[in-house]
Structure formats: structure tokens, C-alpha cells
């Protein structure tokens, strides 16, 4: 496999269609103007102009503009070391063209942090929660893949994220602890959790009070929210069925109103964590 990677990388460079470096390509395409400015500020333009074999997962202007309010201006004003580390998280040594990107693989960025890759049957490729919107642009010193959002390293598992960093999931985290499921979602593995927020628990508090008397039944309901694979929204399709840890299936519905899991609406999608992904939903799912 290693020899194949080397061979494909060499062939990609040999048949390069663009006689430009990665940075020169970014300079020539207005959809990367924010990235160009940040690279220049962080003094990384020379890195992406230098000889070598790099893979750049390049956020478009739309990706930067999707950041929470104030974050982009903060990035433009922070010290160059912090900015450089974030940008280098989007770069790997070696060429990763599309045929080499496989579901469940990971790559190591120049900043020495892990980038998780998911590739789905519908053809979508997701890197660290960000969808590849345009890939395999072969340049003289590597390959560029345009991506839909800025990538950030994951440092927390599902349980750690809910228990330490997310006030939206106080009730869900308490339920996981109560039923003994919290350690499983803190472990290594690959999980997708459709996570009811606090409002979802408040809407059904009456029924939940009776369920707490039967811890096993409550645990089964929570397991019905967890799928043992990593499914970002790009990997979800209308009519798709997903087998849960509880053993029965969820059904995905996608229409003009959004993405629905059974009767629940996804309110906030694609939060990457070390052991999978979290999608916030607006109601508690109940097995049939």
C-alpha cells in the first residue's frame, strides 16, 4: 500500500495540469481570498510556494464566513503563532488524492494533529467534519481540496464534550451518567449520536419521570439515539435507514424543512469529536 501511495503521488505531480504552486493557485482564485490573506499574515505563503509534496484542505471564503460572529476578525488579529497553527492544521505532508481517501482513515497535519476522514457511498468526502466541495487540483508542489468549513482539531469525546463544554446537553449528559452509558461514549470507537437538547427533555419530562424507575428501559431509549459509525450530514440521504445500538432502525428524511431523524429535526449538525460526531435534535426519539 505504501508503494502505491508513493506511485500515485509521483504520477499526480508528473501529470500536473496546473503549472503553479499551491499559494499561486490560491492567489489566482477569488474564492480563497480570505485564506490568502491569513496565510500571508501568518507568513506561510513561502511554505506553500516551496518545493515539496503537500495536501492542502483549503477553506473557501464561504467557509470562513460561516464561523461564529467575531471569530474571523479574531483570527485576523490574533498572534501569528496561533494563526499559523490553525492554518497548518489544514496541510499534510504527502499527496492525498481522492482515490487515497478512505472511510475511517486519518491523516497527520503539519501541526502534528489528527485529521479524520470519512468517505460515504454517495461519494461525499468529509475531513474533520468539513465536506470536500472541490478536490484533486494537482499543482507543482501538491494537491488542493476545497472544503466547506474551517477545520478545528478534536480533543474531546462525545461524553467529554457534553459534560464539560456544552450547556445544551445538561439533561442528556445526566441521563447518560444515570444509565451507565457515559463511559461507552467517552471511549475510543466510532459513533454518531442524535442528541436531544435540554428543550427536548423539558417537553417530555412527565414521561421521563416514569422511565427513570426502569433504568434498563431508559438506557435502551438512549441507545436508540446512537449509531455505531461516524455519519456526518454529507453522508445522510433521504430514506436511509440506520441501525442503532439499541438494535432497531432510525429513518432519515430530508426535505425543504431540513434533515429529520424519524420525527426529530436536526437543529445543529456535524460537531466532530474524537470518537465520532454529534447532531443536535429537537425531540427525544422513541423505539417502535
Whether the predicted pLDDT of 16 surpasses 60: no
Which has the closest alpha carbon to 203: 152, 253, 150, 265? 265
pLDDT value for 1:
47
Mean pLDDT for all residues in the chain: 91
Task: Give the pLDDT mean for 229-258.
Answer: 97
Q: Are 178 and 211 in contact (CB under 8 A)?
A: no
Q: What pLDDT shows up at residue 72?
A: 87
In a domain? residue 18: yes
**Mean pLDDT confidence for 36-57:** 95
Give the pLDDT of residue 206.
63
Q: What phi and psi, each to the nearest 5 degrees, are found at residue 221?
A: -65, -45
**pTM of the model as a whole:** 0.89
Single out the residue in 147, 169, 199 at which a domain terminates. Answer: 147
Which grid coordinates are listed for 51? 518545493
The answer as to whether 52 is a domain residue is yes
Does one domain contain both 93 and 139?
A: yes
Instruction: Examine the domain organization and report whether 139 and 239 are in the same domain.
Output: no
Query: Does residue 288 lie within any of the structural domains?
Result: no
pLDDT score at 17: 56
Domain count, the chain: 2
Model confidence pLDDT, tens digit, residues 162-206: 988 568 999 999 999 999 999 999 988 899 999 999 999 988 866
Percent of the chain with pLDDT strictly greater than 70: 91
| Sign for the pseudo-dihedral over CA of 25, 27, 29, 34 | positive
Minimum mean pLDDT among 118-122, 152-156, 205-209: which range? 205-209
Mean pLDDT to the nearest integer, 219-234: 96
Contact 147, 133 (CB under 8 A): yes
CATH number for the domain spanning 52: value is: 2.30.180.10
Query: Which value, to the nearest 10 degrees, does the dihedral of the CA atoms of residues 86, 191, 149, 134 take?
Result: 110
Residues 78 and 194 in one domain: no
Mean pLDDT of 237-262: 97
Does residue 31 sit within a domain? Answer: yes
Q: Which of 183, 193, 152, 160 is nearest to 276 (CA)?
A: 193
Residues 162 and 268 in one domain: yes
Give the SS3 label for residue 216: helix
Read off the pLDDT of each residue in 77-106 and give the average, rounded to a whole number: 92
Yes or no: say if 151 and 55 are a contact pair by the CB < 8 Å rule.
Answer: no
Domain that holds residue 268: 158-281
Q: Could you tell me if 162 and 134 lie in one domain?
A: no
Q: Are residues 264 and 184 in the same domain?
A: yes
Tally of CB atoms within 10 A around 40: 14
Q: Residue 25 falls within a domain, yes or no?
A: yes
Residues 117 and 164 in one domain: no
Distance from CA of residue 286 to its chain's centroid?
27
Q: Is residue 177 part of a domain?
A: yes
Amino acid at each position: 500500500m505504501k508503494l502505491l501511495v508513493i506511485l500515485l503521488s509521483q504520477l499526480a505531480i508528473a501529470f500536473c495540469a496546473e503549472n503553479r504552486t499551491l499559494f499561486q493557485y490560491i492567489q489566482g482564485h477569488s474564492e480563497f481570498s480570505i485564506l490568502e490573506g491569513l496565510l500571508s499574515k501568518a507568513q506561510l505563503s513561502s511554505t506553500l510556494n516551496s518545493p515539496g509534496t503537500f495536501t492542502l484542505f483549503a477553506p473557501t471564503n464561504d467557509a470562513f464566513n460561516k464561523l461564529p460572529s467575531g471569530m474571523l476578525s479574531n483570527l485576523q488579529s490574533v498572534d501569528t503563532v496561533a494563526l499559523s497553527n490553525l492554518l497548518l492544521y489544514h496541510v499534510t505532508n504527502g499527496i492525498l488524492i481522492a482515490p487515497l481517501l478512505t472511510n475511517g482513515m486519518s491523516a497527520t497535519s503539519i501541526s502534528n494533529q489528527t485529521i479524520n476522514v470519512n468517505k460515504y457511498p454517495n461519494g461525499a468526502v468529509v475531513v474533520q467534519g468539513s465536506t470536500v466541495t472541490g478536490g484533486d487540483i494537482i499543482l507543482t508542489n501538491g494537491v488542493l481540496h476545497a472544503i466547506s468549513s474551517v477545520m478545528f482539531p478534536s480533543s474531546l469525546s462525545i461524553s467529554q464534550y457534553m459534560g464539560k463544554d456544552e450547556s445544551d446537553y445538561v439533561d442528556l449528559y445526566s441521563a447518560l451518567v444515570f444509565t451507565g452509558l457515559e463511559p461507552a461514549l467517552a471511549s475510543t470507537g466510532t459513533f454518531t449520536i442524535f442528541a436531544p437538547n435540554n428543550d427536548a427533555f423539558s417537553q417530555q419530562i412527565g414521561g421521563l419521570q416514569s422511565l427513570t424507575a426502569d433504568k434498563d428501559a431508559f438506557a435502551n431509549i438512549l441507545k436508540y439515539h446512537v449509531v455505531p459509525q461516524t455519519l456526518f450530514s454529507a453522508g445522510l440521504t433521504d430514506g436511509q435507514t440506520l441501525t442503532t445500538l439499541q438494535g432497531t432502525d432510525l429513518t432519515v428524511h430530508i426535505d425543504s424543512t431540513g434533515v429529520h431523524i424519524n420525527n426529530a429535526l436536526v437543529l445543529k449538525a456535524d460537531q466532530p469529536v474524537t470518537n465520532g460526531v454529534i447532531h443536535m435534535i429537537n425531540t427525544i426519539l422513541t423505539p417502535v
